[in-house]
Structure 1
Amino acid sequence: MKLSRQTTLRSQATVTGVGVHSGLPVSLTIGPAPVDTGYTFIRMGLDGADREVHATADAVIATEFATVLGDREGPLVSTAEHVLAALRGMGVDNATIEIDGPEVPIMDGSAAAFVAAVDQAGIVTQSAARRVLQVLKPVQVAIGDCFGEFRPFAGGFRAEVEIDFANPLIGRQSYCFDLSAESFRREISRARTFGCMNDVARLWSAGFALGASFENSVVFDETRLLNTEGLRFRDECVRHKVLDVVGDLALAGLPILGAYRSVRGGHKLNHAALTALLSDRSAWRVVESETARRSRTVAEVGSATVGGLIAPAYGPDVS
């Protein structure tokens, strides 16, 4: 059996933008890391020093507005999911992520800018064999009417995501996605965060989402899409939920060999399901990975059938 090897970045690449909540400028630099280190955020110049946090499930301290990582002293970086999705989606195993503010820049609301940064930095193969977390048995969680489940799947990592919103412009959508660098780049990386105008207005009035705009969010009212350029995909909303799944589950610390199903989920459900999986030591094992197999993507879109409140990814995560 031929084994695939771990990867990291050849050099550094920097992106600059604004934080979605503060609206303030922030700079983020991705760069190389040694084998078996996974992803490490380095918060630069915080109280005169740099602080590190490894991007793992036990570093998550909040999931209401986005995925927030921190330590005993408090939060260090929020909205971590998009850059993590780009790294995991493009097949990068080990990386450092330096950031000079409390939020990963929102960029255009997708992972496209971070994929471009990975391309700029380049990917190199390392000496150690790639290890993956193999799901051995089903693990399920439910939060209200939200449902998440891991189950064994031999073909790599598969995400099966369903959303269902009362807004008829979004409605009921589902997407089945088999992860590879090619499929992530083509089908998922450009899908933007989304929400309703009344939710955005409430967040603005409460002092949140000050960096949100039509340049980084897909925004609907009750009858129409407000972005003049339109959607990038007919089912862009569920594709963005897949993007969030890839980023949130990167916090496993290793690529996952298995399938994950999410129904009406979001950051909170993703983290709860991942925590449940990792807590059951009989539900997984770490194995060395075979060379990646060809993957495929299947999508379908339906109409809304049940009610629900839409929340933008920069608002409370209620799906």
Structure 2
Amino acid sequence: MKFSRQTTLRAQATVTGVGVHSGLPVSLTIGPASIDAGFIFVRTGLDGSDREVRAVAESVIATEFATVLGDRNGPLVSTAEHVLAALRGMGVDNATIEVDGPEVPIMDGSSAAFVAAIDQAGIITQSAARRFIQVLKPVQVSLGESFGELRPHTGGFRAEVEIDFANPVIGRQSYVLDLSPERFRREISRARTFGCMNDVARLWSAGFALGASFENSVVFDEERLLNAEGLRYSDECARHKVLDVVGDLALAGLPLLGAYRSVRGGHKLNHAVLTALLADRTAYRVLESDAVRRPRYAEAGSGMVGGMIAPAYSPDVS
């Protein structure tokens, strides 16, 4: 992982598709943003003026079937995690994400289309140093049979994900990712969302999954995979959970330096662990990269990560 300068997109790029839960057509455009802006969703297509929401933990208003961002007036954009995973996974720090519908388009159920859009737009370096949130002590959350933990880790961000489904075709899987743009692109970005046929009726009755299909979801019954083209990876389900982790933890507002472990997790657990970290000011600190490696930093010793990081200040999480 390179500790250097902040990045944004060189230009805009647009993708179009449908919302997996609403079933409605939607267009999404990613584009440049200023230094320290982070990720900002702009909901267009509403009556009156456009509405903006920052992609931070405090903006999350629901996590049942997807990560939903909103403000005091209600939800603005759902299923934010896949595009956020692509931006964080590919090393983008600041970006605007314009959406003209209630959801980010599901595309093929993975982040691949958003990675392609980032490639089309291009990534440029900005003049300000990149900042990180470094985990200083373990933070743990248990929700029923689910367990999540953020703990200190040297060398960037690591995701350790274990899933255990009663469905025998999915079963128990695990995956470990040391995040970098290269590994995200190669190992994670194409892993698709998945589900079981016996859950479809329940989701439909709750008003969800109206746009789900074999083109954007991996679907299992009790005996077999139903998608004719098969899996992209033998452990695609675990890899997609890693993708969700990268997207959900992008809501920290800055890249994380630490390890995240989840067992039987999902959006709700990911958000709960991130919220627990940010609620404890002794559990983290913000570090700023020192691309020019000034001598006073080189002499700071234990106050740095890899000899290239110096403390900055705590983020505004109010």
Q: Give the TM-score, by structure 2 length.
A: 0.90
Within 5 Å, give how 1:286-297 maps onto structure 2: 286-289=286-289
Number of aligned residues: 292
The 1:221–1:290 alpha-carbon spacing in structure 2 relative to 1, beyond 3 Å, is farther
RMSD of equivalent CA atoms: 1.4
1:102 maps to 102
Contact 2:129 2:290 in 1 (8 A): no
Q: Which residue of 1 aligns with 2:158?
A: 158
Q: Partner of 1:88 in structure 2?
A: 88
Give the equivalent residue in structure 2 for 1:73. 73
**C-alpha distance in structure 2 between counterparts of 1:126 and 1:237, whole Å:** 36
Give the distance between the partners of 1:111 and 1:3, measured in 2 at CA. 24
Find the aligned partners of 1:26 and 1:184 in 2 and give their Cα distance. Answer: 25
SS of residue matched to 1:168: coil
- Consecutive unaligned residues of structure 1, counting only runs of 5 or more, are 294-319
Where in structure 2 are the equivalents of 1:230-269 lying within 5 Å? 230-269=230-269
| Cα distance, 1:290 vs structure 2 | 6.4
Going from structure 1 to structure 2, the CA distance change for 1:260 and 1:3 (only over 3 Å counts) comes to: closer
Residue 47 of structure 2 is aligned to residue 47 of structure 1: yes
Question: How far apart, in 2, do the equivalents of 1:277 and 1:203 lie?
Answer: 31
Structure 1 segments, 4+ long, off by >4 Å, are 290-293
For normalisation by structure 1, the TM-score amounts to: 0.89
**Identical amino acids, percent of aligned pairs:** 84
SS of the aligned residue for 1:46 comes to coil
5+ residue gaps, structure 2: 292-304, 307-318
Alignment of 1:116 with 2:124, yes or no, is: no
In structure 1, C-alpha distance between the alignment counterparts of 2:247 and 2:88, rounded to whole Å:
7
Q: For residue 288 of structure 1, report the CA deviation from its aligned partner.
A: 1.5
* Aligned residue number for residue 213 of structure 2: 213
In structure 1, C-alpha distance between the alignment counterparts of 2:182 and 2:134, rounded to whole Å: 22
Tell me which moved more, 170-179 or 203-212. Answer: 203-212
- DSSP-derived class of the 1:285 partner: strand
SS in 1 for 2:7: strand
Q: Could you say if the C-alpha distance between residues 3 and 141 of structure 1 is closer, same or farther in structure 2, counting changes exceeding 3 Å?
A: closer
CA distance in 1, matches of 2:141, 2:203: 29
SS of 2:40's partner is: strand
SS in 2 for 1:33: coil
The 5 Å alignment of 1:118-197 reads: 118-197=118-197
SS at match of 2:16: strand
For 1:202, give the aligned amino acid: R
Post-superposition offset of 1:238: 0.4
**Alpha-carbon distance between aligned partners in 1 of 2:188 and 2:281, rounded to the nearest angstrom:** 31
